[in-house]
Copies of this chain bind each other. A is one copy, B any other.
Amino acid sequence: MEERFAIFGDILYADEDMEIREFKDSYLIVNGTKVSGIQRSRPNGMVVHDYGGMLVIPGLTDLHLHAPQYQFAGLFMDEELLQWLERHTFPEEGRYADLDYAKKAYSIFTSDLLKSETTRFSIFATIHKDASLMLSQMLEEKGFSGYVGKVNMDMNSPDYLCEDTRDSIESTLSYIEGMKRFENIRPIITPRFIPSCSPGLLKELAGISKEKGLPVQSHLDENLSEIEWVKELVPESRNYSDAYRMMGLWGEEKTIMAHVVWPDDEEMNMLENRNIFVAHSPSSNSNLSSGIAPIRKMLERRINVALATDVAGGSSLSILRMATHAIEVSKLYHRLVDEKSRPLTFREAFYMASLGGGRFFGSTGSFIPGYDADVVVLDSSSIHTTLYDEISLAERLELYAYRCAGRPVAAKFIKGRKVL
C-alpha cells in the first residue's frame, strides 16, 4: 500500500460536538491506514484521488443488521415481528445450513453492501458456524472491517434453528477459533434475544465474552409482545435490560443493544453504562409496527446511539437513508408522543450515522487526525437544482441524503485501502 495519498473533493465530517465541519475543494491526507489532516493546497509528492465536485464523507457505520435476511429485504412487509419471524425469517435463516445456498446469498449481500455507504458493521449471521465463517471470509476479501456473530438459539425456535445448549457453546468456541484467520473481521457474541436462549446458554456466553474480551450484541425492547414474553420467561427480572444483566450480559464488555423502542425509566438509567451502544433502526421499527425509540431522550442523557438498518426489518442497506428516517420518526414522536421531545436535526442524525457508531469500533467515523481512513465518496451530479451553487456543503449532503440515499456510492476506502 502506498504510504501517503490524498483524496480531493468537498469534504465533510461530524465532530464530537455533533457539528458538521466543511472543507470545500480540499485534500484529505491519508497516511497509511489513518487520516493525517485536511488541507486546501495541493500536496506534493503523493497520489491524489480526484473527486472534485463530489462529497467526501467518513464511512458510515451499521450497528445492527442480519446478513441472512437480506434476500427478502423489501418483502413480506405486511406483518408484525413475531409472525414475521415464524413465517419468513426463520425458514430463510434455516437455508444457511446449506453452504451452496449460503455462498450464493452471501455473495449478493456482500456485493450490495460494498456499494452502500457502510464501511463498519456489526452483523448477525445464523446459528450455522460454517456459513458464518464463509460470510466473514467474503467480507474480509472485500476489504471490510467489523464484527460478525454466529447466532445462538437453544429454545423457542423451530427445530431446524434450535441448537442443543452444549453444541451451541462448542460451535461458538470453534467459530471464535476459526475467526482468528481474519485480520479485519472479528467475532462478536450473539445470543439472538432472551426468548430464544436458555439462562444456562446466556451465562456461558457471558463467560466466553469476558474470558476472551469479546463484544456482545443482542435485541432489546423492540416490541411490546416481546417485552411481555421476556417478563414471563424471566419473572424475577425487573425489566428486559435487567434480564440481560442477570445473565452477565449488560455491558461487561462493549455491547450493542438493537432497537430499544420501549425502555422504561430504570432501563434508561441502565443505558448510561458507557459500554452499551443503542442501535437505532427507525425503518425496521416502522416496518414491523414496533414504535418509535426515544432517541432525543437518549442523546440528552449522553447514551451512545448509532444508526442501523436492521435488514430485513429495514429494507435498505443505506445508513444515510436511516439518517433521514430517524429524523422523520423523531418528528412524529414529537407530534404524537411527547411534544417536549424535540425532533432530531440533520447534523445530529449525521453524527449518529458516522462518529456515533464509529466509536464502537475505535477511532473511525470522522476525519479527526489519527482516525482510521474510512472514506466514502458520494456523487451528487444527478441532482439538478437551481440552488446548488448557493447552498453549503452540509446542505448538499442533506440534499443527497433525502434524494439519493441508497444509490451506489462513487468510491470507498477502508483503513486507507481503496475497496471500491
Give chain A's interface residues, CB within 8 Å of chain B: 70-78, 101, 104-105, 108, 111-112, 283, 286-292, 315-316, 324, 327-329, 331-332, 334-337, 343, 345-346, 384-387, 391, 395, 398-403, 406
Contact = CB atoms under 8 A, between A and B. Distances in A.
A343 B288 CA distance: 10
Contact of A335 (B72, B111, B290, B387): B290
Given A77-B402, A286-B328, A336-B336, 7 more contacts: A78-B343, A101-B386, A104-B386, A287-B328, A291-B332, A291-B336, A316-B402
A379 to B, nearest CB: 15
A416 to B, nearest CB: 29
Nearest to A316: B403
Closest 5 pairs between A and B when the two form their complex, measured CB to CB: A74-B402, A315-B402, A289-B331, A286-B328, A74-B403
Given A385-B72, A402-B73, A332 B331 contact: no
Contacts of A343: 78, 289
Copy tally for this chain in the complex stands at 2
A76 B400 CA distance: 13
A384 B331 contact: no
Nearest to A387: B71
Contacts of A400: 74
A125 to B, nearest CB: 16
A343 to B, nearest CB: 6
A406 B404 CA distance: 8
15 contacts: A71-B385, A71-B387, A73-B402, A74-B401, A74-B402, A75-B395, A75-B402, A77-B398, A77-B402, A78-B346, A287-B331, A290-B335, A291-B336, A292-B336, A316-B403
A83 B283 CA distance: 27
Contacts of A286: 328-329, 331-332
A331 B112 CA distance: 28
A31 to B, nearest CB: 35
A108 B401 CA distance: 19
A71 B399 CA distance: 10
Nearest to A111: B384
Contacts of A75: 387, 391, 395, 398-399, 402
Contacts of A332: 286, 289, 291-292, 329, 332, 336
Given A289-B334, A337-B336, A399-B75, A386 B108 contact: yes
Contacts of A401: 74
B384 A108 contact: yes
Contact of A386 (B71, B291, B292): B71
Nearest to A108: B384
B315 A345 contact: no
A220 to B, nearest CB: 17
Contacts of A346: 77-78
Contacts of A291: 332, 335-336
A402 B313 CA distance: 12
Nearest to A261: B335
A280 to B, nearest CB: 15
For A71, A72, A385, the residue with the greatest tally of chain B CB atoms inside 10 Å of its CB is A385
A74 B402 CA distance: 5
A403 B73 contact: yes
A401 B316 CA distance: 11
Contacts of A287: 328, 331
B77 A384 contact: no
A73 B329 CA distance: 18
B334 A74 contact: no
A295 to B, nearest CB: 14
A249 B202 CA distance: 65
A363 B124 CA distance: 49
Contacts of A335: 289-291
A218 B101 CA distance: 54
A327 B77 contact: yes
